[in-house]
């Protein structure tokens, strides 16, 4: 069992440029049931290619993975949502105002991202750009704001024979479609997830809000790691959402809030395995 996707989930890919085509192949190799691509200028590839999402709906997809360049991504996202598809937005650099507009069209659909590595239901299906070789099937759910940190932690877990159920990169932008709480709730319901690893970073208050939610709603053990303890004050570190204002959004404030809510916070990524 997994969250979000499984072996039967049908997927399309919007934006079959160089990156889209490369990761389409990696998704197919992992076993993802990619049934079609959407690109007005591409005629053929390893899956049928259509000019519009509406045309691809004859294959009855449930998700679209979006690699469309930032200046066109808003329209691509809205097109998918208007066809009742869940979307996983890999594209980075989408303007905040565009994502606000996309969110107005969300309805009951799921949105992961933007500026994220995607989702992997380990051993079943993968959306996005996470490296195939990192994963080992198991019972630890991972949710993270950072793509590269996700890879590091999953690699540590796998090398220590600790398997994962589902790994979700929610993205590091200021406006994202799914937050920590959304994914924590899914992990709580998933009978195949016994432990949860939460990977946060400086900026915003997502981790603080998650801490209170975990205390009141999550029964499974949660182990957290917060990146950016040595970040200079007032600096933006990589992600558009990783902005610290005064004493808010710092690593220390997040760690304190998590610990005050009874959540185990480790000082080093390598210490996660000692708490599972």
Q: Which residue has the tokens 């190799």?
A: 29
Q: How far apart are CA 90 and CA 127, in angstroms?
A: 9
CA distance 161 to 222: 19
Cβ atoms of 204 and 173 closer than 8 Å: no
**Residues 198 and 210: beta-carbon distance below 8 Å:** yes
Pairing of strands 49-50, 164-169: unpaired
> Residue 174, exposed/middle/buried by CB under 10 A (0-12, 13-18, 19+)?
middle
Known catalytic membership, residue 133: no
CA distance 21 to 145: 25
User: Which of the following is catalytic: 23, 105, 195, 239?
Assistant: 239
DSSP H or E run through 197: strand 195-201
Torsion-angle region of 249 (φ positive above 0: left; ψ -120 to 50: alpha; else: beta): left
Residues with active-site annotation: 239
């Amino acid at each position: 069992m997994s969250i979000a996707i499984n072996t039967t989930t049908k997927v399309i890919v919007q934006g079959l440029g160089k990156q889209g085509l490369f990761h389409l192949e990696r998704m197919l190799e992992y076993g993802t049931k990619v049934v079609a691509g959407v690109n007005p200028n591409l005629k053929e590839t390893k899956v049928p290619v259509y000019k519009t999402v509406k045309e691809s709906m004859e294959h009855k997809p449930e998700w679209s993975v979006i690699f469309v360049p930032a200046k066109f991504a808003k329209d691509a996202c809205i097109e998918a949502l208007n066809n009742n598809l869940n979307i996983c937005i890999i594209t980075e650099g989408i303007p905040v105002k565009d994502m606000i507009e996309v969110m107005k069209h969300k309805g009951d659909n799921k949105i992961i991202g933007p500026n994220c590595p995607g989702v992997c239901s380990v051993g079943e299906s993968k959306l996005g750009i996470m490296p195939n070789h990192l994963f080992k099937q198991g019972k630890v759910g991972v949710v993270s704001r950072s793509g590269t940190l996700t890879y590091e932690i999953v690699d540590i877990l796998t090398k220590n024979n600790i398997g994962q159920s589902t790994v979700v990169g929610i993205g590091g932008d200021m406006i994202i479609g799914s937050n920590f709480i959304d994914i924590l709730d899914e992990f709580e319901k998933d009978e195949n997830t016994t432990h949860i690893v939460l990977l946060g970073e400086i900026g915003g208050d997502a981790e603080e809000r998650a801490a209170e939610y975990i205390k009141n709603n999550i029964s499974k053990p949660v182990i957290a790691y917060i990146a950016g303890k040595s970040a200079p004050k007032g600096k933006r570190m990589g992600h558009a959402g990783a902005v610290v204002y005064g004493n808010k959004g710092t690593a220390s404030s997040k760690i304190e809030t998590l610990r005050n809510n009874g959540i185990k916070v480790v000082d080093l990524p390598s210490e996660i395995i000692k708490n599972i």
